[in-house]
Structure 1
């Protein structure tokens, strides 16, 4: 799948478009541009997210087991669909199952109109516990069938928790930031997160979600807290891949990636522990603006 490019306008980003200029479904355009976490310019954006080209990440090449060489990540399997930066009084699990999740709602709405019947969402939910619980949720989407022989398909379809824990990998880099953060984050450049951090997996009819409890491992918890402290001065790329362990699984393919640009911790969207009618779509720009007018 072709990668998503950012608009050059921070304040009014246009709908994301692919390199090949293929049409982006309306519901994905809505999720990209409708969040309180804004879709911003890849190079100059502030307090928002963008989608870096897959080539900024390094993955295992076709000859990796012969020469240990890595290669640029290339095209994503799924299109970046948005980011939520949330705050709640409790830890939020299985966010895509909530009726007030704006991504799941946008897909349901499209399907009720007879569109996007093959729409699918993949989400990674970083849970950051504390006196106030924060959540950084990265969403990716597609309307194309996920290849049946892909590692991603096996990862999602099976019920083998051990396989998932051994294969789900985060690749990341600090693009801009103080040396103390770059030094601390260096060991997490390619990180099999579930080997040391508690992860839970949630599968629905048209979604798959990975919840990562960053507080379950003190080293990662300390790094996340450090990054939050310096978040206004940080630009970070985060990508996701299912690790290849056999030669016929190479080269690795990126599921998707996001760039977090100088995020303001205080801009988190406040979410109720339990959704109540009328539903207020979590992370939506419209709901955030309504809150600010009261």
Structure 2
């Protein structure tokens, strides 16, 4: 088995789990696809604490390897499902168990029960990341508190969502404002060796539930880009870098185009 810390061009050694939401190139012509974002996001600069200046982020610390839109099985339509990374058809589990991939994995699960959006990111160049201020924060994020890393509460107060939705609005809401996710909605963390998953309960806030209603009604026409970052609070923790990004292109939320979660 190779060095998990070395930069890797990963070659799958097993067949990936089935998906109904395919990876695209980012072209606007490719409806109902996902890719990484088309351009950088603005993040806090080295001098942000003094002058509030933002800059374009460098390359994300993590690479998006899977985006999955799925529905809960009919027998679980009343139960919110946590920790999608542990499910038999999860991409994270496929990487760990079938491909024996030891790279660090970050999973974001947006819970909109019975519908879910699961994003899976992997770290492809840990040595390069560890030379950056943002990489030092990433180490804290992945390290358990008992080993000197952040607690889940500290992680929640650092994890930031940076949205970018063009040509669309919701009355009284700035859709493109960066926000610490846990300040708006409930987040719960799941950890395994070299893996962190954050469960984002979208329906825990009436405001986000209201916003989602607007977005769902127009999803098949929208281009939604999201970035995640760990917020730098001091000059020593800056500049920020995005953790990872996703571009969701004109997503068709009809049941016939949505995968059903495989039951255990």
Q: TM-score, normalised by structure 1?
A: 0.75
- 2:158 alignment partner, one of 152, 162, 167: 167
Counterpart secondary structure, 1:163: helix
Deviation, 1:184, is 5.8
CA distance in 2, matches of 1:104, 1:201: 17
CA distance in 2, matches of 1:164, 1:136: 21
CA distance in 1, matches of 2:8, 2:181: 34
Map Cα deviations across residues 231-281 of structure 1 (whole Å, 9 max, x no partner): 011001100000000110000011100000000001221115x41xxxxxx
With over 3 angstroms needed to count, the CA separation of the structure-2 counterparts of 1:200 and 1:172, relative to structure 1, is: same
- 1:27 alignment partner, one of 12, 23, 33: 12
With over 3 angstroms needed to count, the CA separation of the structure-2 counterparts of 1:28 and 1:94, relative to structure 1, is: farther
Which one is further off, 189-198 or 242-251?
Answer: 189-198
Residues 13, 99 of structure 2: 8 Å contact kept? no
* Residue 52 in structure 1 maps to residue 42 in structure 2: no
With over 3 angstroms needed to count, the CA separation of the structure-2 counterparts of 1:263 and 1:223, relative to structure 1, is: same
The structure carrying a bigger helix percent of its residues is 1
* Residue 138 in structure 1 maps to residue 119 in structure 2: yes
Partner of 2:4: none
Partner of 1:154: 140
Deviation, 1:97, is 1.5
Map Cα deviations across residues 121-173 of structure 1 (whole Å, 9 max, x no partner): 211000013xxx11011111124436396112212324423212211100011
- 2:259 alignment partner, one of 234, 253, 269: 269
Residues 184, 223 of structure 1: 8 Å contact kept? no
With over 3 angstroms needed to count, the CA separation of the structure-2 counterparts of 1:225 and 1:27, relative to structure 1, is: farther
Aligned CA RMSD, in angstroms, stands at 2.4
Counterpart secondary structure, 1:26: coil
Counterpart secondary structure, 2:99: helix
User: Unaligned stretches of 5+ in structure 2?
Assistant: 1-6, 146-150
* Residue 73 in structure 1 maps to residue 64 in structure 2: no
Which has the higher relative contact order, 1 or 2, with Cα contacts under 8 A spaced 6 or more apart? 2
* Residue 195 in structure 1 maps to residue 179 in structure 2: no
- 1:214 alignment partner, one of 202, 219, 231: 202
CA distance in 1, matches of 2:157, 2:34: 28
Partner of 1:14: none
CA distance in 2, matches of 1:28, 1:263: 29
Aligned residues: 240
Deviation, 1:28, is 9.5
Residues 128, 214 of structure 1: 8 Å contact kept? yes
CA distance in 1, matches of 2:223, 2:172: 15
Residues 231, 264 of structure 1: 8 Å contact kept? yes
Counterpart secondary structure, 2:169: helix
Counterpart secondary structure, 1:180: coil
Which one is further off, 237-246 or 87-96?
Answer: 87-96
